[in-house]
Amino acid sequence: MHTENALFEGALLIVLGIMAQWVAWRLRLPSILLLLMTGIIVGPLTGLLHVDEMMGDLLFPFVSGAVAIILFEGGMSLRLKDIRETGAVVRNLVSIGVIVTWVITAIGAYTLLGLDLQISLLLGATLVVTGPTVIIPLLNQIRPSGRVSSVLRWEGIVIDPVGAILALLVFEEIFVTDLQQGIAIAVTTLISTLVIGLVIGIAVANITIEFYRRYWVPENLQNAGTLMVVIGAFALSNYFQAESGLLTVTVMGIVMANQRRFNFQHVIEFKESLQVLLLATLFIMLSARMQPESLLLIASPQTLLFVALIIVVERPLAVFISTIGSGMSWKERVFISWMAPRGIVAASVASIFALELANAGHPGARLLVPYTFAVIIGTVIVYSLTSGIVAQQLGLSERNPQGVLLVGASEWVQQIALQIQAAGFRVMLADTNQANIELAEAKGLETYLGSVISEMALDEINLSGMGRLVAMTPNSEVNALAAEHFENAFGSRNTFELRRPEHDRRGGISPNIGGTPLFQEDTTYDYMQTQFMNGAQVTTLSATLFQNTPDVLPLFVVTDDNELHIWVSSNPPRMLPEYKVIAFTNLNCTPETFVTTRLPQLQMS
């Protein structure tokens, strides 16, 4: 391919990938669907994109490296504290569940699709993985209660290297004729993959942490340095044992995310931006490689029946076997069984092994990719359209969740969080200040250490039971951007921010960006902090006592039917005697700052 053509197709790939994700964001659709459709249009339908000619021999090394970066970022989104109650369930899903999924999918491929036994087993192994890049946005949208979110997040990321290893074992067995030799190869491969993946992953992660902690790497090189380390560890691991690199990078991500020696937040923000580009290019490239006749296979009745088998039979059976004796309710088990979309790892593994089989002259190689893409498309469509309805019918998705995500963890914000928690509502504090977070955790509060305006925050924060965001950091821009960032998750009516100082109102931050202004006029961060430093405290009062207490600033109202209302001066909540008020008391009021007479008269009925 001429350089000009390669440059044009490369630019087209990036432009279409980002545009497809933007359209998906605007329409609130899973981006994977638009990316796959885009790839099919520019590939087999129109022939605008010639991926094999453009990339040449670098195609699958690029695909493998990109998947490694995505899994590393996925590993960095996992928190060990989220799995304390559900670790056994996740373990069973990525072991027993994988075997059940593999066997049933292989049987379905053999009987329904007419594939030979070898390709059926390989297709089954390829499809045991789920897609965290699809699951996590769905969970953020549905916000299911209970333990299902942490189970699905952990399963979606941990199962990816497990599935890749299983696919490798099956692939190697295809070319083995002696049973005893095949068993020996499988055992040796499995042990070496686990040992090499774990050892290199843990070692490289800890070395990287120490280099950064001791400032042996300047901050301006840490993003690029982390990318270098991830790709280097992935390649080194694969050099010693094929496909062990995915386990290595996943372990690296988990280790780095669950330590307190160094804050990788800026690295995470860089990786998430890179992930957007990688996902876009990968899905379009891989789907564009399909042949026109493959599209007929995807839409055939046998394929649709195969997809239905995976959704209706395989997944529920794998989940119910894996959760026996787990203590999970039947509703939680049903919802988990109805959430297993496939994603980029399945597409990548299928494409890589299909090429290897084609090079070896295997007649079934051309069928592996179209059937994999059929399952990806089918599962994403079904789960994205129905999982929210299923969660509501099971009572796992609250129609009006009352929990609050507090952005900022200053000491007075922690006092607010403690009062909200004492009232029986879920509350989480998010801050980039590690000292604030550690102090909040010591008080028994749920926390998130990181920037909420990053895409990673939407992936990492469990929004189950959360209905509102209240931004109360010292930075007005962060408050506004946090409210804007979570608008899709909570809705514009449920994002709030502290009043902006006069200089921020005059310039710098558009009034069209951000959430509803909190509390009363002049309740900026500086005002709240000053009052707290002068002795103000956050207290819960009865409505009657609140009405008769001087020098008090209302913050939240707790109703008798267990609803939490945020106090906004432009639309103050209705009050009844049996209600309670979370308020700032003992205010050091002055005429220049705030006086109680500026409060509207409460309605006592």
- Domains belonging to the chain, first-starting first, are 3-394 (1.20.1530.20), 403-598 (3.40.50.720)
Binned at pLDDT 50, 70 and 90, residue 17 comes out as: confident
Instruction: Identify each DSSP E strand in 341-450 by its residue range.
Output: 403-407, 427-431, 446-449
> From CA 516, how far away is CA 518, in angstroms rounded?
6
- pLDDT at residue 313 tops 90: yes
Coil, strand or helix at 308: helix
Structure tokens given for 45: 């339908």
When the pLDDT of each residue in the chain is averaged and rounded to a whole number, the result is: 80
**Shortest CA distance to 297 belongs to which of 372, 381, 362, 383?**
372
Instruction: Give the H or E element holding residue 553.
Output: strand 553-558
**Shortest CA distance to 367 belongs to which of 357, 378, 359, 376?**
357
Binned at pLDDT 50, 70 and 90, residue 261 comes out as: confident
- pLDDT at residue 456 tops 90: no
Which of 155-169, 172-186, 227-241, 350-364 is predicted with the least confidence, judged by mean pLDDT? Answer: 172-186
Question: What pLDDT is stored for residue 509 in this prediction?
Answer: 64
- pLDDT at residue 106 tops 90: yes
Question: What pLDDT is stored for residue 437 in this prediction?
Answer: 85
Coil, strand or helix at 559: coil
Question: What pLDDT is stored for residue 268 in this prediction?
Answer: 67
Which of 162-171, 345-354, 554-563, 591-600 is predicted with the least confidence, judged by mean pLDDT? Answer: 591-600
Is 0.85 surpassed by the pTM of this model?
no
Question: What pLDDT is stored for residue 591 in this prediction?
Answer: 33
- Please tell me which residue, 527 or 586, carries the higher pLDDT value: 527
- pLDDT at residue 311 tops 90: yes
- Please tell me which residue, 396 or 103, carries the higher pLDDT value: 103
Binned at pLDDT 50, 70 and 90, residue 605 comes out as: very low
- Please tell me which residue, 263 or 122, carries the higher pLDDT value: 122
- pLDDT at residue 594 tops 50: no
Helix ranges, 495-564 (H): 502-506, 525-533, 543-547
- pLDDT at residue 426 tops 80: yes
* Number of neighbours of residue 512 by Cβ within 10 angstroms: 7
- pLDDT at residue 505 tops 60: no
> From CA 145, how far away is CA 230, in angstroms rounded?
34
Binned at pLDDT 50, 70 and 90, residue 199 comes out as: very high
Burial of 70 (0-12, 13-18, 19+ CB in 10 A): buried
> From CA 368, how far away is CA 511, in angstroms rounded?
53
**Shortest CA distance to 575 belongs to which of 541, 550, 552?**
541
- pLDDT at residue 592 tops 50: no
* Averaged pLDDT, 377-403: 81
DSSP single-letter state for residue 41: I
Measured on CA atoms in the order 354, 360, 362, 366, is the torsion positive or negative?
A: positive
> From CA 429, how far away is CA 405, in angstroms rounded?
6
Query: Contact, 447 vs 409, CB < 8 A?
Result: yes
| 386 backbone φψ class: left, alpha, beta (φ>0; ψ -120 to 50) | alpha
| 395 backbone φψ class: left, alpha, beta (φ>0; ψ -120 to 50) | left
* Number of neighbours of residue 238 by Cβ within 10 angstroms: 20
Coil, strand or helix at 427: strand
- For the stretch 433-446, pLDDT in tens is 888 888 888 888 88
Question: What pLDDT is stored for residue 182 in this prediction?
Answer: 67
DSSP single-letter state for residue 501: P
Question: What pLDDT is stored for residue 21 in this prediction?
Answer: 84
* Number of neighbours of residue 216 by Cβ within 10 angstroms: 9
- Contacts made by residues 510-518, CB under 8 angstroms, sequence distance 24+: 513/480, 513/481, 513/484, 514/479, 514/480, 514/481, 514/483, 514/484, 515/469, 515/471, 515/479, 515/480, 515/483, 515/484, 515/487, 516/568, 516/570, 517/568, 517/570, 518/470, 518/472, 518/566, 518/567, 518/568
Using a pLDDT cut of 70, give the percent of the chain over it. Answer: 88
Round the CA-based radius of gyration of the chain to a whole number and report it.
27
- Please tell me which residue, 262 or 308, carries the higher pLDDT value: 308
Q: Which residue's structure tokens are 């109703």?
A: 559
> From CA 37, how far away is CA 20, in angstroms rounded?
9
**Shortest CA distance to 198 belongs to which of 246, 157, 159?**
246
> From CA 215, how far away is CA 209, in angstroms rounded?
10
- pLDDT at residue 400 tops 70: no
Question: What pLDDT is stored for residue 145 in this prediction?
Answer: 67
| 378 backbone φψ class: left, alpha, beta (φ>0; ψ -120 to 50) | alpha
Question: What pLDDT is stored for residue 360 in this prediction?
Answer: 76
Question: What pLDDT is stored for residue 577 in this prediction?
Answer: 74
- pLDDT at residue 158 tops 90: no
* Averaged pLDDT, 134-153: 77
* Averaged pLDDT, 414-432: 86
> From CA 154, how far away is CA 330, in angstroms rounded?
20
Burial of 86 (0-12, 13-18, 19+ CB in 10 A): buried
Burial of 326 (0-12, 13-18, 19+ CB in 10 A): middle
Question: What pLDDT is stored for residue 378 in this prediction?
Answer: 87
List phi, psi (to 5°) of 47: 70, 20
- pLDDT at residue 110 tops 50: yes
Using a pLDDT cut of 90, give the percent of the chain over it. Answer: 8
Question: What pLDDT is stored for residue 105 in this prediction?
Answer: 93
Which of 555-559, 560-564, 570-574 is predicted with the least confidence, judged by mean pLDDT? Answer: 570-574
